[in-house]
């Protein structure tokens, strides 16, 4: 999370009226803290109304946080929505398209869920159009919507780490700083070294 974001306003959960809400709760394994951050959309933006609760491992939380910080402090909902749309499109799922052929192998980005507790809880709000594609993509790869969003985001961070050029950074030096910060993010091996064009990848 990035409290310095000009569109973020810290508020009491009972007083929060914005539909763009991100809430994080650290479990007992981490510093206990709870807060609600309401994001008011920029002028001309239609507020979303599909909220999904996610449970992350601390490492997943750190990866997503680091990626947001590297990308000039974008908020998590933006990164995760962008990643989910990218992965859905890569799989051949988009509005107006017929169902793509079955995957040649299992979707490799399902986050591992072993005995380690998912001590970070996160709620994000997506547009209805994005939510529909997330639901279709999750059904297509045979996982839940939360795990699809998390897996797609981690895979997207892996692609940014390897391929992002930052051509629209304000200066070449800033672009280099962004790339270095992304390159420094440590990811599980399942999110590294895969081609971007193959649905099975």
Torsion, CA 127, CA 132, CA 137, CA 140, rounded to 10: 170
CB 60 within 8 A of CB 83: no
Residue-wise pLDDT for 47-101, tens only, equals: 546 888 899 989 999 999 999 999 999 999 999 999 999 999 999 999 987 889 9
Tell if the pTM clears 0.95, that is, is over it.
Answer: no
Contact 185, 65 (CB under 8 A): no
* Exposure on the CB side of residue 111, measured as CA atoms within 13 A: 28
Summarize pLDDT for 99-131 with one digit per residue, the tens.
899 999 999 999 988 777 778 898 888 999 999
Separation of alpha carbons 145 and 150, rounded Å:
9
**How open is the CA angle 184-38-50, to the nearest 5 degrees?**
90
CA 4 to CA 158: how far, in whole Å? Answer: 25
Tens digits of per-residue pLDDT, 27-50?
A: 433 333 333 333 344 444 455 468
| Counts of helices then strands in the chain (DSSP H, E) | 5, 5
């Amino acid at each position: 999370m990035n409290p310095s974001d000009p569109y973020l306003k810290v508020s009491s959960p009972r007083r929060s009226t914005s539909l763009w809400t991100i809430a994080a709760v650290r479990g007992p394994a981490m510093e206990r803290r709870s807060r609600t951050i309401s994001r008011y959309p920029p002028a001309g933006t239609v507020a979303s109304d599909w909220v999904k609760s996610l449970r992350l491992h601390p490492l997943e939380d750190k990866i997503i946080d680091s990626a947001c910080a590297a990308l000039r402090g974008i908020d998590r909902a933006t990164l995760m929505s962008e990643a989910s749309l990218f992965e859905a499109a890569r799989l051949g799922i988009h509005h107006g398209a017929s169902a793509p052929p079955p995957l040649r192998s299992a979707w490799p980005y399902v986050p591992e869920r072993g005995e380690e507790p998912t001590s970070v809880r996160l709620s994000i709000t997506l547009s209805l159009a994005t939510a529909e594609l997330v639901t279709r993509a999750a059904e297509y790869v045979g996982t839940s919507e939360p795990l699809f969003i998390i897996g797609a985001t981690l895979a997207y961070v892996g692609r940014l780490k390897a391929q992002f050029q930052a051509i629209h950074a304000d200066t070449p030096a800033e672009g280099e700083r962004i790339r270095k910060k992304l390159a420094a993010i440590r990811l599980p091996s399942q999110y590294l070294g895969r081609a971007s064009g193959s649905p099975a990848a």
